[in-house]
Amino acid sequence: MNAFTDIVGHKNIINALKHAVKNGSTAHAYIFDGPVGVGKKSVAATFAKVLNCERGESEPCNRCKSCLTFDAGTNVNYYGITHEKKNITVGDIRTQINANVSYPPQNGKYKVFTVPDADLMNIEAQNALLKTLEEPPEYVVFLLICTNYKRLLHTIISRCMIYKFMPLASSDVINYAVENLKLTSESASLYARYASGSIGKLKSMTGSEEFSEIRSRAFNLFSNSETSDIVTVYSMAEDMKKYESNILNGVLDTFFSIVRDAIVYKQTGNIKYVMQSDMANEIKEISFRHELEGLFVIFDELYKVKKRLSANGDVALLTESLLMTIKENSK
Ligand SMILES: [Zn+2]
């Protein structure tokens, strides 16, 4: 990411950050909160670069030593916090943050600490960070990146400037896919429907051979659910267990779109209201094979499963129950 102007969307947040840099009114700690893949890390990285750019303006110059080392990943004033365990532990905070805050930057104005997945800090880790946040040295800036900042202690939240990142407009996601990923506008629109305003999500789907295969399996499952035997159901549940969470979410979103389209077609009888126009025949077939009531039952179950999975529910159990609901509600 070279400059704020390269970032898709989030213009209000970017303008506020640029304004703060220009006026010398930056805060010591920020929370960037919002869904995965919408651009929080890109904004954080560019902001970190701007803070130490020798030109001192609200966009990075991309020529000074600080900008060049930042791009090369060797900037000594920038700390990207990593963690090996599922949670960020007190050890991570002590060795990567607390050990480095007490002395000022060698060159440049700020030491910038970015904490991706900051809401994965356990309580001890948060308390360790809090000590620094309570009396931050002048030269320290923290960028805490979260998907749910409410998991953080109140005492941390109250010391941070909070920026909430919203999903991107579908048109922005489509333009990005056409311009940067060289997709045709038709396939960009298709992927954008599943990406829910997240470029990160769109990238993980387009980069995945699994996604188109999963989509056709999902359609198959709905079309043949009343004839598919229990072994088919279990084998698909077994496969779903192996998917990474972003792919698994893609599968659930595919199910959602299928059910949504089948409901719409059943109610309107008009294919032009269907989102997945490339699968018009399949949608017609699926809506023919399901009662309206059954489709609503599946929709509710999908909603429940998605919620439980995001709370770390058992993937195998939840997907089995979902697939059985789909099967049972077919005629
Ligand atoms: Zn620079």
| DSSP code per residue over 228-284 | S-HHHHHHHHHHHHHS-HHHHHHHHHHHHHHHHHHHHHHHH--GGG-S-GGGHHHHH
pLDDT (0 to 100) of residue 225 = 63
Helix (H, G, I), strand (E, B) or coil at 125: helix
Q: Which two tokens stand for residue 320?
A: 């089995």
- Among 17-31, 55-69, 92-106, 268-282, the minimum mean pLDDT is found in 268-282
Residue/partner pairs of 54-62 with CB below 8 Å, 24 or more apart: 54/108, 57/21, 57/22, 58/4, 58/18, 58/19, 58/21, 58/22, 59/3, 59/4, 59/5, 59/18, 60/2, 60/3, 62/2, 62/3
Q: Rounded to an integer, what distance in angstroms lies between the CA atom of residue 129 and that of residue 13?
A: 25
* Sign for the pseudo-dihedral over CA of 20, 151, 83, 3: negative
pLDDT-derived band at 16 (thresholds 50, 70, 90) equals very high
> Ligand 1 centroid to 8 CA: how many Å?
21
Helix (H, G, I), strand (E, B) or coil at 90: helix
As its CATH architecture, domain 4-164 has 3-Layer(aba) Sandwich (3.40)
Largest Cα span, the chain: 71
Contact yes or no for 286/294 (Cβ under 8 A): no
The predicted-structure confidence for 39-92, as pLDDT tens digits, reads as follows 999 999 999 999 999 998 999 999 999 999 999 999 999 999 999 988 999 999
pLDDT (0 to 100) of residue 111 = 95
Q: Rounded to an integer, what distance in angstroms lies between the CA atom of residue 33 and that of residue 21?
A: 20
Report residue 108: phi and psi, to 5°: 85, 170
pLDDT (0 to 100) of residue 211 = 74
pLDDT of residue 126 exceeding 90, the answer is yes
Q: Rounded to an integer, what distance in angstroms lies between the CA atom of residue 240 and that of residue 297?
A: 21
The predicted-structure confidence for 192-242, as pLDDT tens digits, reads as follows 877 889 998 888 877 767 777 777 777 887 777 666 667 777 777 777 777
Q: Which two tokens stand for residue 59?
A: 């966009």
Work out the end-to-end distance of the chain between its first and last CA atoms, rounded to an integer number of angstroms.
52
pLDDT-derived band at 298 (thresholds 50, 70, 90) equals very high
pLDDT (0 to 100) of residue 330 = 76
- Among 49-63, 139-153, 232-246, 312-326, the minimum mean pLDDT is found in 232-246
pLDDT-derived band at 246 (thresholds 50, 70, 90) equals low
pLDDT-derived band at 256 (thresholds 50, 70, 90) equals confident
pLDDT-derived band at 1 (thresholds 50, 70, 90) equals low
> Ligand 1 centroid to 25 CA: how many Å?
19
Q: Which CATH number fits domain 208-328: 1.10.3470, 1.10.405, 3.30.750, 1.20.272?
A: 1.20.272
Give mean pLDDT, residues 144-170: 96
> Ligand 1 centroid to 141 CA: how many Å?
18
Give mean pLDDT, residues 117-128: 95
Helical spans, DSSP H, in the chain = 11-23, 40-52, 65-72, 90-93, 99-101, 123-134, 154-157, 170-180, 185-195, 199-206, 209-223, 230-242, 245-268, 280-289, 292-310, 315-328
Which of the 8 DSSP states describes residue 166? P
> Ligand 1 centroid to 173 CA: how many Å?
29
> Ligand 1 centroid to 200 CA: how many Å?
27
pLDDT (0 to 100) of residue 85 = 87
> Ligand 1 centroid to 57 CA: how many Å?
9
Which of the 8 DSSP states describes residue 6? G
Q: Rounded to an integer, what distance in angstroms lies between the CA atom of residue 88 and that of residue 108?
A: 28
> Ligand 1 centroid to 10 CA: how many Å?
22
pLDDT (0 to 100) of residue 67 = 94
> Ligand 1 centroid to 17 CA: how many Å?
16
- Polymer length in residues for the chain: 331
- Among 120-129, 130-139, 155-164, 182-191, the minimum mean pLDDT is found in 182-191
pLDDT (0 to 100) of residue 227 = 64
Which of the 8 DSSP states describes residue 159? T
pLDDT of residue 272 exceeding 80, the answer is yes
pLDDT-derived band at 129 (thresholds 50, 70, 90) equals very high
Report residue 163: phi and psi, to 5°: -120, 125
Domain ranges of the chain: 4-164, 169-197, 208-328
> Ligand 1 centroid to 47 CA: how many Å?
12
